Amino acid sequence: MPAPNSPQLRFLLRASGLFVVMLTLWWWLLLSPMLAGLRFSTGAILWMMPGGRTASGVVLQPDGDWAVRVPLPEFLVKQEAIQRAYRRVPGAPSPVNVRSFRLAIADRVPTFFTLGFPLFWALALAAPLSRRVWRVLAIGTALLAVLSQLSLLVYLAYAIETTLQLAPSGLPAALWRAAEYLNVNVLPYVAPLFLAAWLHRDLRTQIFSWGEPAPVPVPVVEEEKSKRGRYRGRS
């Protein structure tokens, strides 16, 4: 256990307190614009995909869930698994024409991918304050924005794959499942921690203390002597 008033205990209390504040701020003020931004960027990415100009989009449902229309590239549509999923009649001369895949995402999924922001801000601000902290906050926030977008795209790809049963069996399927598990259950919590330790030099130095100068011995005896001298002088 950290001793009272140790840097570890101070950091724990500051980071936990700041996290509660940031989480409240995120939940009441920032979540809505963040989700709107994520919806917009996801829509833009889907639009840029092959076939996306005619068959793509992200629509907010009245219950808060997202309806995502993902364009399916032609090479994918021709695959047997997709043709089977869309009930192509065996022996039919022409393949079933599929342009996009419509997917409903519960609102908590994209919300979850933005959880890293308040955790990262709390960790960065709980570390020793310096002028660099604003730079750390800006870079970390930008990287987390990219990461949340990537996580959502991986989630979409996995949802399509499991619905259409496209993945091969064996090791690739197991690795793909593991990647999705980590993407949803681990990455949103771990990424802010890594980013804070990577970007915040003071925090990293405090935790690892690699390369710090050797501790200077405190001149206890001399200090006591000087105090005694002062007292003698006064008396």
Partner 1 sequence: MPEVNPTPPPVSPGPQMRMGRFLLIFGVSLAVLFGLLLAPPTEPAVARFTTGLVTVSAALIRLFGGHAVAIGDLLQNPGTHFAIEMAYGCNGAHVTILLWAAVLAFPATWVQKAKGLAAGTAAIHLVNLLRFISLFYVGQYSRAWFDFAHLYLWESLMMIDTLVIFWTWAHFVRKSGRTANASAQ
Which of the stretches 36-44, 76-84, 108-116, 164-172 binds partner 1 when contact is defined by CB under 8 A?
Answer: 108-116
Pick the binder of partner 1 from 190, 225, 226, 229 (CB under 8 A).
190
Local structure of 91: helix, strand or coil:
coil
- Min dist. Cβ of residue 200 to partner 1 (A): 12
- Cβ nearer to partner 1, comparing 56 with 183: 183
Pick the binder of partner 1 from 5, 54, 94, 209 (CB under 8 A).
209
Q: Does 23 bind partner 1 (CB under 8 A)?
A: yes
Q: Does 211 bind partner 1 (CB under 8 A)?
A: yes
Q: Residue 107, exposed/middle/buried by CB under 10 A (0-12, 13-18, 19+)? A: middle
Q: Does 122 bind partner 1 (CB under 8 A)?
A: yes
Q: Strands of 100-105's sheet, edge to edge?
A: 57-60, 66-71, 100-105
CB 101 within 8 A of CB 70: yes
d(CA 72, CA 90): 22
Pick the binder of partner 1 from 84, 134, 189, 230 (CB under 8 A).
189
- Cβ nearer to partner 1, comparing 15 with 82: 15
- Min dist. Cβ of residue 181 to partner 1 (A): 6
- Report how far Cα 107 is from the mean position of its chain's Cα atoms: 16
CB 148 within 8 A of CB 109: no
From 148, 226, 229, 231, select the one nearest 192 (Cα to Cα): 148
Q: Does 181 bind partner 1 (CB under 8 A)?
A: yes
Pick the binder of partner 1 from 62, 90, 93, 215 (CB under 8 A).
215
- Location of structure tokens 């917009």: 40
- Min dist. Cβ of residue 172 to partner 1 (A): 15
Tokens of 160: 């399509």
From 3, 26, 23, select the one nearest 15 (Cα to Cα): 23
Identity of the amino acid at 115: L
Q: Does 141 bind partner 1 (CB under 8 A)?
A: no
Pick the binder of partner 1 from 132, 186, 228, 230 (CB under 8 A).
186
d(CA 153, CA 92): 34
The residues of the shown chain that bind partner 1, judged by CB under 8 A, are 1-2, 6, 8-9, 11-12, 15-16, 19-20, 23, 27, 108, 112, 115, 118-119, 122-123, 177-178, 181-182, 185-186, 189-190, 192-193, 197, 206-211, 215
